[in-house]
Amino acid sequence: MARPLFEQRRASSEHTNDRGLAEEDALLTGEHTQKFEPPQSKWKKIREVGLFVWALLATTIVIILAVVVQKERTTSAPSPVPDGKRNLIFMVSDGMGPTSLSLTRSFKQYEQAEPFDNTLMLDGHLIGQSRTRSSSSLITDSAAGATAFSCGHKSYNGAISMLPDHQPCGTVLEAAKRAGYMTGLVVTTRITDATPACFAAHVNMRSEEDRIAEQMVGDYPLGRVVDLMLGGGRCHFLPNSTEGSCRDDDRDIIAYAKEQGFDYVDSRSGFDGLKEGTAVNLPLLGLFARTDIPYEIDRRNEADIYPSLDEMARTAMKALSDATRDSDKGFFLMIEGSRIDHAGHANDPAAQVHEVLAYDKAFTSVLEFLEKDDTEGVMVSTSDHETGGLATARQLHSTYPEYLWYPGVLSNTSHSAERVTHNYHSFLSGQPKKPAIESWVRENVKKGLGIDDAADSEIKSLVEKPELAPYTFADMVSRRSQIGWSTHGHSAADVNIFASSRKAAAPLVGNHENTEVGDFLRRYLDVDVEAITKELQAKGTSFVNALGQAVDWMGAPPSQDKEHGWEDHLDHYQHDFKKHKRCEVCGV
Ligand SMILES: *[C@@H]1O[C@H](CO)[C@@H](O)[C@H](O)[C@H]1NC(C)=O
Ligand SMILES: *[C@@H]1O[C@H](CO)[C@@H](O)[C@H](O)[C@H]1NC(C)=O
Ligand SMILES: [Zn+2]
């Protein structure tokens, strides 16, 4: 319908400038140009004017329709919220960008000798992308990223469900609990780490994990809001007098949790006792590692010690589903593939592909659960940001590169760089002599990383700079597989959004701000998050904790310390490229 105008305009551009301008003018004013007009019959003129008026009308109608439709789409954002009982499972693939999928897909196809169209389960459920920047930086951290999901607001890097003005913001989990839903958190990192913390705690700085542990089991103004927690991070719950503690004080948070009614499990046998979720008493606290649960690439050989993400996810879904059987409200569960991010920070492609495969497996189990369960439900999966600036390409030499990367190298790698480093540092603690160190290194890059062509320079670096071993081991694997990384930190890449149903997650189809993911969560559950924000803010910063002490419960606001990156990072270029600062101990 819009064609006539377009074609007339195009035709005009083929004539001289004057002629073009004159015609353009005519199009706008409706007056026909006189200059180069050939002699015409009256009828021809009338017909031409008629055609022109028709074209103008048709174009106007098209424009008006387009404006109306666009307005509808941007203002009303229809959320197909079901009327009755419903479950919401929110999955977070921490640090997984689009390239992680390409990397893992090709690795899987290589390992299993599959054709190119045998994709990941995730691939079939892509619905959109999320823009991830925070209020303080174009590159977010996990805390600001998860605050966008939990509160639906942008905040500064490091914020655990706190607003830029250091006031707490209510979370979708808190509001869900208040509305009568059951709630759960499943992670492979510390349960006190930024992503899970943002759903059930409020602190000014993500490093306050002792405080976060207290809040997550209910020692904060809202009381207990989480019914089920499975993951790692035991050390923040143990008093500092106990072996394996990393708390600064002597509070026993596990004892406190038990007083609040929590069942507590801390081992594989304890996990097995949950019988895939059929033998769970809520509330439940399951902490299966002192800090993080090992990377899947290492854990798969230690399944007698640590449960997998998929096992924990299935246990949680079964337990929460059973517990809400007779309720008119369902559950809200957050499941995080936490350590995709760590493999990105470590620039370790072999660890990463196994993390993503573990996530894809849990994702598949969630789809199966939703398919079978009687209660209506939806799963939405996204990342808080990309980590590592990952590229499935790497130019190793100055000559023009071939187009390829080698998944077979990752296939030969049996351990994470983190694990080989851990073993190396343990070996060094026995103070071996230099030749023994060298032969240990040669043997273990072969055994752990599948590398039998280590260069002398690589061995020398490992022997002389053992503190850089995590990076050196990972770099040896990356170079050989021709996988590239642009940073050990995060990047500003847009990340994918996946869902169990495009229809149920319709408001998230397309490209969205990460806060819109948060908006979707609260709207789907139909819960009042802003009421929780008002309540928290009304209660103020002082809180009398379980010990009877009045505490500044959200901790001190972060200092404007450049080294810690709390300040606004927008548009302050300071010739950073000239600085060659290097960390002394680049631990991951
Ligand atoms: C353990 O915590 C208490 C305070 O709760 C503190 O006085 C003590 O110094 C801490 N001990 C260690 C070894 O950090
Ligand atoms: C993987 O390891 C095997 C056995 O050591 C070796 O023959 C093969 O070349 C390796 N593949 C790659 C891609 O490094
Ligand atoms: Zn993150």
382 and 236 both lie in a single domain = yes
442 and 493 both lie in a single domain = no
The C-alpha atoms of residue 439 and residue 377 are separated, in whole angstroms, by: 56
When mean pLDDT is compared over 75-84, 367-376, 567-576, the highest value belongs to 367-376
pLDDT at 6: 37
Question: Which of 238, 242, 245, 248 has the most ligand 1 atoms within 8 A of CB, as the residue to mutate?
Answer: 248
Nearest-CA residue for atom 2 of ligand 2: 412
Ligand 1 contact, 464 CB (< 6 A): no
pLDDT at 405: 98
Distance from the alpha carbon of residue 231 to the mean position of ligand 1, in angstroms? 26
451 CA closest ligand 2 atom index: 14
pLDDT at 78: 53
Question: Which of 236, 240, 241, 251 has the most ligand 1 atoms within 8 A of CB, as the residue to mutate?
Answer: 240
Could you tell me what percent of the chain has a pLDDT over 90? 80
Which domain range does residue 145 map to?
Answer: 86-391+487-541+549-564
Ligand 1 contact, 240 CB (< 6 A): yes
Ligand nearest to the CA of 408: 2
Q: Which of 458, 481, 504 is the last residue of a domain?
A: 481
The CATH number covering residue 508 comes to 3.40.720.10
Q: In terms of pLDDT, which residue wins out, 327 or 35?
A: 327
240 CA closest ligand 1 atom index: 1
270 and 240 both lie in a single domain = yes
What pLDDT band is residue 261 in, cutting at 50, 70 and 90?
very high
pLDDT surpasses 70 at 395? yes
pLDDT at 579: 66
pLDDT at 569: 74
Whether residue 580 is contained in a domain is answered as: no
pLDDT at 101: 98
341 and 376 both lie in a single domain = yes
Q: Which of 430, 448, 481 is the last residue of a domain?
A: 481
pLDDT surpasses 90 at 567? no
Ligand 1 contact, 547 CB (< 6 A): no
The C-alpha atoms of residue 553 and residue 215 are separated, in whole angstroms, by: 9
Q: What is the DSSP string of 268-323?
A: HHHHHTTGGGTT--SSEEEE-SSSSPPPHHHHTT-TTTS--HHHHHHHHHHHHHHH
406 CA closest ligand 2 atom index: 13
Ligand nearest to the CA of 407: 2
Nearest-CA residue for atom 8 of ligand 1: 249
Tokens for 582, please give them.
């290097």
Helix-then-strand count for the chain, H and E: 21, 14
What pLDDT band is residue 11 in, cutting at 50, 70 and 90?
very low
- Taking only the tens place, the pLDDT of each residue in 448-468 is 999 999 999 999 999 999 999
pLDDT at 572: 74
**In terms of residues, how long is the chain?**
588
352 and 283 both lie in a single domain = yes
The C-alpha atoms of residue 353 and residue 210 are separated, in whole angstroms, by: 32
Whether residue 216 is contained in a domain is answered as: yes
- Taking only the tens place, the pLDDT of each residue in 203-255 is 999 999 999 999 999 999 999 999 999 999 999 999 999 999 999 999 999 99
Nearest-CA residue for atom 10 of ligand 1: 249
What pLDDT band is residue 19 in, cutting at 50, 70 and 90?
very low
Distance from the alpha carbon of residue 383 to the mean position of ligand 3, in angstroms? 7
The C-alpha atoms of residue 280 and residue 300 are separated, in whole angstroms, by: 25
Question: Which of 406, 409, 412 has the most ligand 2 atoms within 8 A of CB, as the residue to mutate?
Answer: 412
What pLDDT band is residue 65 in, cutting at 50, 70 and 90?
low
412 CA closest ligand 2 atom index: 1
Nearest-CA residue for atom 10 of ligand 2: 412
Distance from the alpha carbon of residue 240 to the mean position of ligand 1, in angstroms? 6
pLDDT at 549: 94
460 and 324 both lie in a single domain = no
Nearest-CA residue for atom 14 of ligand 2: 409
Distance from the alpha carbon of residue 2 to the mean position of ligand 3, in angstroms? 47
Ligand 1 contact, 25 CB (< 6 A): no
Distance from the alpha carbon of residue 489 to the mean position of ligand 3, in angstroms? 10
* Segment 20-44 mean pLDDT: 45
- Taking only the tens place, the pLDDT of each residue in 133-189 is 999 999 999 999 999 999 999 999 999 999 999 999 999 999 999 999 999 999 999
Ligand nearest to the CA of 404: 2
* C-alpha distances out from residue 373 to 85, 87, 366, 503, Å: 12, 10, 10, 18
Distance from the alpha carbon of residue 239 to the mean position of ligand 1, in angstroms? 9
* Segment 72-86 mean pLDDT: 65
Ligand nearest to the CA of 210: 1
Q: In terms of pLDDT, which residue wins out, 71 or 41?
A: 41
Whether residue 201 is contained in a domain is answered as: yes
Ligand 1 contact, 250 CB (< 6 A): yes
Q: Which of 481, 504, 520 is the last residue of a domain?
A: 481
CA angle 464, 396, 415 (to 5 degrees): 55
Asked which of 42-46, 375-379, 435-439, 503-507 is least confident by mean pLDDT, the reply is 42-46
Listed in order, strand segments (DSSP E) in 406-560 are: 490-491, 495-499, 510-513, 542-544, 550-552
The C-alpha atoms of residue 101 and residue 355 are separated, in whole angstroms, by: 11
Ligand 2 pocket, residues with Cβ under 6 angstroms = 406, 408-409, 412, 450
378 and 425 both lie in a single domain = no
pLDDT surpasses 80 at 49? no
User: What's the mean pLDDT when you consider all of the chain?
Assistant: 89
Distance from the alpha carbon of residue 251 to the mean position of ligand 1, in angstroms? 9
Whether residue 9 is contained in a domain is answered as: no
pLDDT at 25: 41
User: pTM for this one?
Assistant: 0.86
Whether residue 56 is contained in a domain is answered as: no
Distance from the alpha carbon of residue 462 to the mean position of ligand 3, in angstroms? 29
Domain tally, the chain: 2
Whether residue 81 is contained in a domain is answered as: no
183 and 117 both lie in a single domain = yes
Whether residue 308 is contained in a domain is answered as: yes
- Taking only the tens place, the pLDDT of each residue in 353-376 is 999 999 999 999 999 999 999 999
Residues marked as catalytic: 142
pLDDT surpasses 60 at 61? yes
373 and 425 both lie in a single domain = no
pLDDT at 29: 39
209 and 334 both lie in a single domain = yes
What pLDDT band is residue 574 in, cutting at 50, 70 and 90?
confident
Question: Which of 238, 246, 247, 250 has the most ligand 1 atoms within 8 A of CB, as the residue to mutate?
Answer: 250
Residue of 163, 153, 95, 144 whose CA lies nearest to 488? 95
Distance from the alpha carbon of residue 292 to the mean position of ligand 3, in angstroms? 14
pLDDT at 427: 98
495 and 476 both lie in a single domain = no
- Taking only the tens place, the pLDDT of each residue in 488-539 is 999 999 999 999 999 999 999 999 999 999 999 999 999 999 999 999 999 9
Nearest-CA residue for atom 9 of ligand 1: 249
Whether residue 402 is contained in a domain is answered as: no
What pLDDT band is residue 577 in, cutting at 50, 70 and 90?
confident
477 and 519 both lie in a single domain = no
* C-alpha distances out from residue 15 to 12, 19, 261, Å: 6, 6, 83
What pLDDT band is residue 561 in, cutting at 50, 70 and 90?
low
- Taking only the tens place, the pLDDT of each residue in 406-428 is 999 999 999 999 999 999 999 99
pLDDT at 40: 55
Nearest-CA residue for atom 7 of ligand 2: 412
The C-alpha atoms of residue 414 and residue 316 are separated, in whole angstroms, by: 29
pLDDT at 83: 84
